[in-house]
Amino acid sequence: RGKWRRVVRVLKELEEACETSVGRLKQVVDAMAVEMHAGLASEGGSKLKMLLTYVDNLPDGNEMGTHYALDLGGTNFRVLSIQLQGNRSSILEHDVERLPVPQHLMTSTGNDLFDFIASSLKEFIDKGNDSEVLLGGKRDLGFTFSFPTKQNSISSGVLIKWTKGFSIGDMVGKDVAECLEQAMTSKGLNIRVTALINDTVGTLALGHYHDADTVAAVIIGTGTNACYLERTDAIIKCQGLLTTSGFMVVNMEWGNFWSSHLPRTSYDIDLDCDSSNPNDQGFEKMISGMYLGDIVRRVILRMSQESDIFGLGSSRLSMPFVLTTPLMAEMHEDGSLDLRDVARILKDTLGIPEVSLKTRKLVVRICDVVTRRAARLVAAGILGILKKMGRDGTGGVTGTRSRSDVNMKRTVVAVEGGLYTNYTMFREYLHEAMVEILGEEIAKNVILKVTEDGSGIGAALVAASHSSNY
């Protein structure tokens, strides 16, 4: 009896610390909009970096021709091409090739890495028989480079630092687009890097190509990030910024968002302390696929220290990241009466033998609390962006118009990432929170649309829409 009382107390504490009432979510919405303002006002003005992308027009479906893209973001890299017919409804034909980056190249020299990339592109083009390039004609290429860079224009940017296991000293501080172009030239390829972008920008571009009401993009996968279309005159930290459209895509780097209104638990604090980047990416650590499973593991560990409902303790339970988010989702969504998937995962993954049904239900409950909080925070984050854009149905920051005056525009947010697309409960909680915050009527105007492969196809599209040939 006493042991259950202790366990229930741990659960109650978790639920209270993860509380996301509509009132609290609205504070997060406001905090996101305020931080966006601050990050646009001055360099370092907020934990939100609000990086300029120099992407000032998005593909609208009229683009023509063949365009290439390279996507380098981790252990794999991809080459692809698209053919466009100038009619939005036409199917994008694309060929994709995914190649592992040889381990030794991740720590060798910039020359070696880019020589490898250019060779792979050359082979891809040879195979595809693009006679235009083979005869020396010009093509455009979009380069998705998912490492922190400081952009100086749409087609140039300097590497700030490597992440994800890459470490090539002679590249830091260099213009990555220039390095790629040199390597391509030495292979005899007359290809220009027309666009250097990150993956969220690609997602926004792909979303906009299909639907012109798309104004923001969010990625919710292993990590999380967002970008949106901002008025250039609102980008105060860059005075005199002029674009023909009057707009520019801003890369928020929202994984680093922080606010005192975020519902934080002792598990979040411990996870952050144990991480390789403490005090960094605070929002991401409560939300993304890399972390959700580990928060659940920490709660179970705590309960197993308070009582013996999980048996006599398992050493696997102390191993960081053994419980991945897909496994957590499987437990959460176990539809069997005796929760046999929960039992299997507890046993196989966490080394916890046969537990009572009551205990299995408790585990499902923990998964639910952690995922619900994450999904609702993402909803608040998205609505923070829309509030900043004056598209949350309140009629802008002054917000004094009565409800009947509100002329809410149809607003589409492109969404990508395995957490959102594969985890049904996460997706449902996210949508539910949007309706709770906005109200049913206004929520009808906000549409989340899944795009696929924005980081690849989107880069080729941005290259197309910024191409001088077009």
Q: How many CB atoms lie within 10 A of CB 206?
A: 30
Number of residues that bind ligand ADP (CB under 6 A): 11
Q: Which residues contact 366 (CB under 8 A, 6 or more apart)?
A: 11, 14, 296, 299, 300
**46, 56, 71, 78: the active-site residue:** 78
Q: Which of 85, 107, 108, 222 binds ligand ADP (CB under 6 A)?
A: 222
Tokens of 23: 């009132």
**56, 71, 139, 146: the active-site residue:** 146
If binding is defined by CB under 6 A, does position 456 make contact with ligand ADP?
A: no
> What is the residue type of 415?
V
Question: Is 199 a known active-site residue?
Answer: yes
Rounded to 5 degrees, what are φ and ψ at 244? -65, -35
- Least Cβ distance, residue 325 to ligand ADP (angstroms): 4
The b-or-e profile of 274-298 (16+ CB within 10 A means b, else e) is: ebeeeeebbbbbbbbbbbbbbbbbb
Contact stretch for ligand ADP (CB under 6 A) within 261-269, 298-306, 324-332, 437-445? 324-332
If binding is defined by CB under 6 A, does position 423 make contact with ligand ADP?
A: yes
Rounded to 5 degrees, what are φ and ψ at 288? -90, 165
Q: Which of 46, 151, 214, 325 binds ligand ADP (CB under 6 A)?
A: 325
- Least Cβ distance, residue 63 to ligand ADP (angstroms): 25
Q: Which residues contact 467 (CB under 8 A, 6 or more apart)?
A: 63, 65, 67, 140, 194
If binding is defined by CB under 6 A, does position 418 make contact with ligand ADP?
A: yes
**199, 268, 272, 392: the active-site residue:** 199
Q: How many CB atoms lie within 10 A of CB 402?
A: 7
- Least Cβ distance, residue 178 to ligand ADP (angstroms): 26
Q: Which of 326, 351, 390, 395 binds ligand ADP (CB under 6 A)?
A: 326
Say how far apart CA 179 and CA 193 lie, in whole Å. Answer: 10
Say how far apart CA 15 and CA 105 lie, in whole Å. Answer: 46
Nearer to ligand ADP, 40 or 329 (CB): 329
DSSP states along 248-288: EEEE--GGG---TTS---HHHHHHHHHSSSTTS-HHHHHHS
If binding is defined by CB under 6 A, does position 118 make contact with ligand ADP?
A: no
Q: Which of 221, 282, 381, 456 binds ligand ADP (CB under 6 A)?
A: 221
Q: Which of 142, 202, 417, 458 binds ligand ADP (CB under 6 A)?
A: 417
Contact stretch for ligand ADP (CB under 6 A) within 152-160, 204-212, 321-329, 438-446? 321-329
Nearer to ligand ADP, 221 or 381 (CB): 221
The residue with its CB nearest to ligand ADP is 289
Contact set with ligand ADP (CB under 6 A): 221-222, 289, 325-326, 329, 417-419, 422-423
Residues carrying an active site annotation: 78, 146, 199
